[in-house]
Amino acid sequence: MGQGFLQSFSKDITVCSAGTNPSTMVSKKAIAVMKEAGIDIRGEKPKHVGIYLHEVWDYVITVCDDANETCPVFQGKVRHRVHMPFEDPSFFKGSEEQTINEFRRIRDQIKETLFRFYKENIL
């Protein structure tokens, strides 16, 4: 969701997304709630962070609760490392309606936080 929002703020920036333990596919619930926000992430594929470790980055932004502890050290040049902890809605336990509402709640937190970051650091 973070990649989708950041890329929606500007087509002039390169945004990549990866995880330390990526799923085999993007969550259908994440796709649905991002579609509600006007962003299509259906074509995205989860990637392992290892493919980006030796590249040069202006920012490396970790977004999951434990990513600050589990994210590997980037060997390439990273100008700024930022940690923005968000709960992973895929771990939420509840009814279908409660779960989709949790995805919406986290989506909205991600959008607000990343837009503020974008305005203050990239724009």
- Cα–Cα distance, 71 to 76 (Å, whole number): 14
* CATH class of the 2-114 domain in this structure: alpha beta
Model-level pTM? 0.87
pLDDT per position as a tens digit, 17-35: 998 888 999 999 999 999 9
* Per-domain boundaries in the chain: 2-114
Comparison of pLDDT for 34 and 77, the residue scoring more: 34
Q: Among 107, 90, 105, which Cα is nearest to 46's?
A: 90
